[in-house]
Structure 1
Amino acid sequence: MRKLRNLAVCITALGLMAIQATAVAYEINPLEDKYKYDGANAKLHWIADAVHEELTLRARACAIATPDSAPEALRCPAAEAAPPGNPHGHKYDSLVRGVWWNDDPNQLLFAFREAKWLAWMKDGNAIAKTGHNLRRVKAKITKDYYMNYRSHYGDLQFLHAMASANDVDPKTTQQNILTWAEFAYSVAIGKIDPELNLGQVESSGFEQFFGHRPGWSVSYLFGPRYVLKDRDHIPNMALGSLLHVVQDSYSEAHAKRVFLESSKCKSGRVLRFNSYVNQAVNRHKATDIHRAWLAQRYGDAQGPVEVSAAIFKLVQSRAQWPAVRDYLEHHVFCLDDDAELSSDGGFGETNLLTKEP
């Protein structure tokens, strides 16, 4: 039994080290502060940067401490250290678990399933780039694939503020993001009950992504394997998922932003949504680590912490969706006439020596 336990720990460590090289978003680390650490678990702490976790903790603290204001006017004071999370670990923080969900909607990064997560990622990458899976069988990622495939290489890439392929109109990706945002926000404020079936969700455009799963409940969508007993668990997970989309949009490999005022966008704008399909994994990953986030400069515009805090406050106040949509559409994901079709953003396999200015 001890040998089997040690083997499981080794497999987990190796799997997570490989996961570090395949992350598609600002990185998460479900092992960082997942439990109170001691012994062997503590040795795995360094495997991936817990960027989303830190952004979320900072945003929540800012939202609680900042007076009410128009969402686009919210500013967070600089803080040297991130505030502490749940004293029992991130595993027991529904908001953080929601932030994890976009990277792991099938909840494989628990209970020694990291190797399966990695296998799916490698398989999805092979299908996206070659049209064949790891078994060398011709394949295409459709809505019938697991959500992990769809969110990284298929039609659900908007969960990372990315386009589903190259040459996609930016308004299409913006609308997909807003469709998900309306659904997630409605769950977060209690307008959509966690036990409602997806076939009964009335959010505009939602059926194009989950209409083939009418019998799934909202609760099952966010927790196909694990849920906490807290009655606010699913609403908080939905909020976390929305924050993940927002935070990813500030990563250079996900979207190209301009933090200057334009005729249609007073708070800066998205110039292009990138697609992960043709990006080189390691080049993408380099923009998603803690160091890359710290190097970002936003001028007078809001950054990911402040936008996340503003959304947190909107949820707290139970603001109506039209006001939230206006903030997201005209401030956070604003597009002007110079918005471009999606591409690999200069992070492709063929762009290893050159990159866009």
Structure 2
Amino acid sequence: MVEKFLLSETGNFPSISEEVSNQINVTRERCYEGLFSIALIAPFQSGKSTTLNAFADGREVSPRGLGGGGIKTSACLVKVQNPHKSREESVKITWRTKQDLLERLDEILETTARSIPNSEISRRLREISNKEAEAETEEEAKQYREEYLSIIDFTKPEGKTLLEQAVRKELEEYENNPAKGSEGVQNQLDMLRFAMIVLAYYNDPMLKELKNKTNFEPKDIENYLKFPDNFERRWNKCFKNYSLNLTKKEFTLEEVMYAFIEEVTYIVNSENLKKLGVKIIDCPGIFASKYDTLTALQAMQEASAILFLISGNKQLSQSEIKVLSMLREVGYGNKVFFSINYRNNPKTKTNKAVIDTILEQLQQLGFKGDSQL
């Protein structure tokens, strides 16, 4: 009851202006309604999902990396909040549309799909893409885009065959790439997994039936966002002998459901969330792919605040600097707060020199340092 009393008293101070009082009242109403949201941002496998689960009293509502088996490019938002009125728990799933999936597959395979040897379809894609780039109006560009996507439509035999050819070509190039252990190449491999899953399962009758529903019980979907056991070993078999049938043989629909989910909102009874009065949003990795980046940016734009988890090494990593620089560039810097992940680097907590170095880097990036970091 103390939290509710404090919320009810906010804004009732005679010394503040009417404008500030109104802003406080809007924020207070957001807290009451669970609309005050915090976007959780961090480099891949830096404790982001673990932190979200801690907010939810330790319940695993967001999948963790599981020893390197996580996927950087799932682009799935996971939101968690306390029930507003009733104590009933539920989960709402927003499914990716066919248009979303087509755009994502084009991002992954566009270069390869346009360069299949002796392919009339590839030639048409190149031609339409050039026309779209040269279009004089947005409406004209939109028409070319629609024509382009209709050609790579994976629900049609012609489009599906082309995309399968593109996947095979990408996998061949991956095997022959001397830099295949690099982060950039591994990110592309993650995206190829996504493409293989969509091509294998989009027309699955069970998936079609599930997509008719939006509301679920938490226990019904607990495996939808978890990463499969023996993830890398099973995928390696698919990469070496690519076929849609093998993908379906190695992975059940439940294990790869994440590819078809755009957003999951958990309504759970949590003492932590009840005290905070907020909705926490686990954002996908920035720069993992264009799609992931846009999804994360949209979530951050709508969020009331952004909590950036710093890995806690001796200094900010290059990936952290890259993300923070972008947040400043897009104008989100004024609502970013920082937290250091001491779990992976416990010595950092008592190492003032490391904290001072991180604070100095943040200041150089344009963020106001705070000794309470």
**TM-score normalised to structure 1 length:** 0.27
Work out which of the two has the higher radius of gyration on C-alpha atoms and give 1 or 2: 2
User: Which has the larger share of helix?
Assistant: 2
User: Which has the larger share of strand?
Assistant: 2
Greater RCO between the two (CA within 8 Å, min separation 6)? 2
